[in-house]
Amino acid sequence: MIIRDAAVKELPLIREQRIHAYEIHANSIPEGHWEALKQAISSDADTHPDIERIVAELDGKIVGSVVLYPAKTDAYEGNVEKLDYPEIRMLAVAPEAQGKGIATALISECIARAKAKGFQSIGLHTGEFMTSAMRLYERLGFERIPQHDFQPANDGIIVKAYCHSFDIENLSQQ
- Residue 149 sits in a domain whose CATH number is 3.40.630.30
| Radius of gyration for the chain, computed over Cα atoms and rounded to the nearest angstrom | 15
Domain around 166 = 2-173
Residue 21 pLDDT class (50, 70, 90 cuts): very high
Mean pLDDT of 32-58: 89
Q: Which candidate, 162, 133, 159, places its Cα nearest to that of 33? A: 159
Looking at the chain, list the stretches that DSSP marks H as alpha helix, in order from N- to C-terminal side: 11-22, 31-42, 102-116, 131-139
Helix (H) or strand (E) holding 143: strand 143-144
String of b and e for 128-165 (b: at least 16 CB within 10 Å)?
Answer: ebbeebbebbeeeebeeeeebbeebeeeebebbbbbbe
pLDDT(5) > 90: yes
- The answer, yes or no, to whether residue 78 has pLDDT greater than 80, is no
Structural domains of the chain, count:
1
**Angle between helical axes of 11-22 and 31-42 (0-180°, round to 10):** 160
* pTM for this model (two decimals): 0.89
Closest to 157 in 3D by CA, of 28, 18, 66, 40: 28
- Helix/strand/coil for 167: coil
